Structure 1
Amino acid sequence: MTAAVALAEGSGAARPERRPFEPGSRMWDDVGLLTFSLTAGSAFLLQTMEPTIAAVVDEHSTFRTDPMGRALRSIASVMMWVYGGDEALAEADRLRAMHATLNTTDAAGVKHQALASAPWAWVLHTGVFAFTEGNKYFSREKLTAADKEAYYQETVQLMRNFSVAPKEIPATYTEWEPWFWDQVENHLTATNVAYDYLKVIRRIAPPQQIPAPLHPVWRAVTAPVGRLQYFFTVGTTPGIIREKLGLEWTANDERALRLLGWAIGRTVPKLPERVRYFPIAYEARRLERDRARLRKMITLRPI
């Protein structure tokens, strides 16, 4: 337990303020990029290896039956966390309310609650890893220690928005990093949910609205996408996790990932903003520019 957390718990102080993200933050600039999706798979894989999350997902999630819909809803929700303004807090509350009843008992008789403090926090902690790992492969500008700390402090604010218990939040990135790797090594386990997730992303099931006769066409078209999605997920997953799951990753695979990442990191920044950002992120950024222009005109108005 960090000193900062111990002080907060011992003093009986009120929880820190919840507040939406604004332009100028690291998350505002980075979370909405399409490259976010390249490491979202490894983040979810880490989640499926947390025992409580795995048990709840196994019983309640639709990722097996509606993988496309599940992925689109998840990405849209994450975009709301950062770009939704005041509605970002409402989205966090909606998710907490939705998860409040997602409880289960596993085959060993252990009871699991989706809102238990550690699993609830772990979902957001995996995002820190995904961000730093994604930057390592898919960005031209590598993160400094100060960059990592700044992003982590924004994640701390995100955790506050989600009412994560203070005891689950290391105070700094320097404290978070060894804590995270301890969780990866000593708490995460190989689960059937993790293996199922890897199968789902490798062979993308057709959406429910596509007629059965067109399923072979869907499979043919999406097969390369599935292979690439699996490749990125396995490649950006910690090596110790690959060992726990028995996933093969060769030196040639690593070189190929770095080469693809190099190309992506130099191509995406040159794309128009409408293309390189997810729709909610793009519209939020465009709206903020419009507001800034309006503020400028109001300031310059003759009086």
Structure 2
Amino acid sequence: MTAAVALDQQSPGARPERRPFGPGSRMWEDTGLITFSLTAGSAFLLQTMEPSIAAVVDEHSTFRTDALGRAARSIASVMMWIYGGEEALTEADRLRKMHATLNSTDAHGVKHRALSSGPWAWVLHTAIFAFTEGNKYFSSERLTEAEKESYYQEVVQLMRNFSVAPKEIPPTYADWLPWFEDQIDNHLVPTNVAEDYLKVIRNIAPPKQIPAPLHPVWRAATTPVGRLQYFFTVGTTPDAIRDKLGLEWTATDERVLRVLGWAIGRTVPKLPERVRYFPIAYEARRLERDRARLRAMINLRPL
């Protein structure tokens, strides 16, 4: 593994400005949509194939024993990144502090650190892929190249909020595309963590709170959900990654995914906002509208 510089060694004065997101950004409009979950699986799969992330996740993550809890915590954290206001930066700092001690040594004796600059950045790079792939399949409006560039620059700001090393950030979306393909082809590797993750999402284990006699009921209720999540994850994963993992994906599968995506992309925008957004995103958006109405009334007050 190439040696990486830990961000903790950087001078605070060298770090670009950190600032939270708000209304008017693409992140604000799209990240909180329930369709976020449809490509979150492929993003995490890409993360589990990065050697350092795989080693750390293998040793420290609870995704095998508490899959639903881990997913709920992850989604809530991502919602905080975008909709938490100033607390978004606090959440980024909390995650950095939490990951500072998440180190591991693999079977070959190679040491891995969660906060090494490359792996730390890779988590957010997978978000770019997940967003553009989600737009490709699950949106009624396709992004233009200019819109992809604009979104990419918002992710660059998110990376700054997480103190990602500047050397890990291609300057433009056009630069990012070949960089990302190179990572896929030459850096990501098949791992037991990736294989276990695919098993976990296909067969969702019952939470500990559910008594053993009810486990068959849980399995019957969640098996279709697990199969669909697995289908979406494999379908929105790059061809090169499917080849590395030996995952089958047929032309028929692709057609079915596109039909489902077409239906989802035209149904979700018609849902009430409370339904189509995750709770934190919905409440943040509602609060901002209330603030805007208050500001309008303040501006109209007699002087």
TM-score per shorter chain, which class? over 0.9
Matched residue, 1:255: 255
Do residues 166 (structure 1) and 166 (structure 2) align? yes
Counterpart residue number, 2:143: 143
Superposed CA deviations along residues 35-60 of structure 1, whole A, max 9, x for unmatched, are: 00000000000000000000000000
**2:76 match:** 76
Give the whole-Å Cα distance in 1 for the aligned partners of 2:72 and 2:63.
11
1:65 aligns with 2:65: yes
**Displacement of 1:14:** 2.4
2:194 maps to amino acid: A
Gaps of 5+ in 2: 1-11
Instruction: Give the C-alpha shift of residue 13 in structure 1.
Output: 7.2
CA-CA distance at 1:31 after TM superposition? 0.1
Residue aligned with 1:69, SS: helix
Greater shift after overlay, 76-85 or 207-216?
207-216
1:121-270 alignment runs, 5 A limit: 121-270=121-270
Letter in 2 for 1:288: E
Aligned to 2:86: 86
Aligned residue in 1 for 2:279 = 279
TM-score (norm 1): 0.96
Instruction: Answer yes or no: is 1:99 the counterpart of 2:99.
Output: yes
Give the counterpart letter for 2:152 in structure 1: Y
Deviation at 1:290?
A: 0.2
Q: Distance in 1 between matches of 2:256 and 2:13?
A: 50
Structure 2 residue matching 1:247: 3-state secondary structure: coil
Q: SS where residue 122 of structure 1 aligns?
A: helix
SS of 2:104's partner is strand
Give 1:180's aligned amino acid.
Answer: F
Offset of 1:236 from its aligned partner? 0.1
- Identity among equivalent positions (%) equals 83
Secondary structure class of the residue paired with 1:90: helix
1:292 aligns with 2:301: no
For residues 84 and 236 of structure 1, the distance between their equivalents in structure 2, rounded to whole angstroms, comes to 28
Partner of 2:109: 109
Alpha-carbon deviation of 1:110? 0.3
Q: Which runs of 4+ in 1 moved over 4 A?
A: none
For the residues of structure 1 that align with 2:207 and 2:169, how far apart are their CA atoms?
38
Give the counterpart letter for 1:147 in structure 2.
Answer: E
TM-score, scaled to structure 2: 0.96
Measured in 1, the distance between the counterparts of 2:180 and 2:276 equals: 30
Cα distance between partner residues in 2 of 1:239 and 1:176: 18
* SS of residue in 1 equivalent to 2:14: coil
1:112 partner SS: strand
Match of 1:5 in 2: none
| Distance across 2 between alignment mates of 1:248 and 1:84 | 39
* Aligned equivalent of 1:51: 51
Structure 1: distance between partners of 2:86 and 2:297 = 25
Q: Which amino acid aligns with 1:44?
A: F
1: CA distance, partners of 2:209 / 2:28: 34
